[in-house]
Amino acid sequence: MLTNFSTKAAVFGRTITAAVFLTAVAFPCYFMYRAAESAGFQIPFHDYHPRSPHIFPLLLPDDDSATSDSEEYSLERVLKDASMQDNTVILTTLNEAWAAPRSVVDLFLESFRTGEHTRSLLNHLVIISLDRKAFSRCLLVHMHCYALATEGVDFSHEAYFMTPDYLKMMWRRINFLESVLEMGYNFIFTDADIMWFRDPFPHFHPNTDFQIACDHFSGDSSDLENRPNGGFKFVRSNNRSIEFYRFWYSSRETYPGLHDQDVLNRIKNDSFIREIGLKMRFLDTAYFGGFCEPSKDLNQVCTMHANCCFGLDSKLHDLRILLEDWKLFMSLPPSLKSSDSSWRVPESCSLDSLRHFGIAEDDVEQFNNSEGLNRTL
């Protein structure tokens, strides 16, 4: 009888221990869920299948325990989990300024959830965080997060066009994308201030190594006089694209003080590109538009970029209007979805707004003729 009592007591003790453990786990999870919900993150119910995010150490310069081997392992793992069957991933970068609640990243993710056949693409999106706070926010709102550090640079705040931090950030990105190609992954790179309204894959050119969106499109996808914009590109991993990215990155020394886009404009006619046989095409703004040259037909648009824009506040103002316009268009009956439908933007992001901010006419002209202030990260 004493033995039975001891057995029952042991079972009761294990039951109590299990209950305490489950309570300890459940309460933090509940409060984390409520915190995410209050930040505006909603768990979608269709197509998008969140899994537990991979939490890796944030490899910043003051982390003595970080090694390149552990960083590469983390990257390999998150890319593998996010990749499509053909090893294609979607990549974007994020810093603290763009990661704050109700800032750029929330609008970016919302566009995937409200677009046509875009929600499922979130399963293949990797957010590359440039600082600790951006990484922490990513873990709250998305499932594939990777922390990328750049020694001696603080990317947490807005890095305005052509400032030293801006240039370091752009070239760090080129170097990082080269490493993704070397690991055997194709990628779409998209700035987070690009709204995704439709699946872009049907509009990519077949048998092309490198294709890129434009600030201004001439009408010919092979015309090297197009004005490309590095904020959106689709690149296939092969020897040609890897050699091209190495050449592009090394060309920063040939053209010191220029950002990646201006350097691309200088090397796109280089004989080296022809020697390696790189197949390059430019994407039509009818499908891949922006504030520089908006997509005119909402029945065709795939993405819209908040380029030709100065300052985070202006960008957010126009991006919110852009999303409102899209939702209104999608709510219309098919008979009213005509090609005459138009955007109300750019508004705050117009070139006139640059003059309002006191930017000199020569700088406005440079802005209009180049990539523009389209990545004020």
356 beta partners = none
Q: Tell me the CB-side half-sphere exposure of residue 26, using CA atoms within 13 A.
A: 6
- Kindly list the distances between the CA atom of residue 117 and the CA atoms of 63, 196, 200, 256, 352, in Å, as whole numbers in the listed order: 41, 10, 10, 42, 35
Output the pLDDT for position 164.
64
pTM above 0.75, yes or no: yes
Convert the pLDDT of each residue in 341-352 to its tens digit.
889 999 999 766
Q: How far apart are CA 158 and CA 334, in angstroms?
A: 41
Output the pLDDT for position 321.
98
Provide φ and ψ at 308, rounded to 5°.
Answer: 50, 50
DSSP 340-359: T------STTSHHHHHHTT-
What are the residue ranges in the chain where pLDDT is below 50? 1-9, 11, 20, 22, 25-27, 29-47, 49-69, 72-73, 159-162, 355-377
DSSP label at residue 183: T
Output the pLDDT for position 171.
86
Q: How far apart are CA 207 and CA 140, in angstroms?
A: 37
Output the pLDDT for position 191.
97
Output the pLDDT for position 99.
96
C-alpha gyration radius of the chain? 23
Output the pLDDT for position 121.
98
Computed from CA positions of residues 306, 309, 311, 316, in that sequence, does the dihedral angle turn out positive or negative? negative
Q: How far apart are CA 149 and CA 130, in angstroms?
A: 6
Q: How far apart are CA 79 and CA 146, in angstroms?
A: 9
Residue 285 structure tokens: 């703004």
Q: How far apart are CA 337 and CA 132, in angstroms?
A: 43
DSSP 145-177: EEE---TT---SS---TTSHHHHHHHHHHHHHH
**Exposure string (b/e) for 310-340, b if CB count within 10 Å is 16 or more?**
bbbebbbbbbebbbebbeebeeeeeeeeeee
Q: How far apart are CA 375 and CA 305, in angstroms?
A: 10
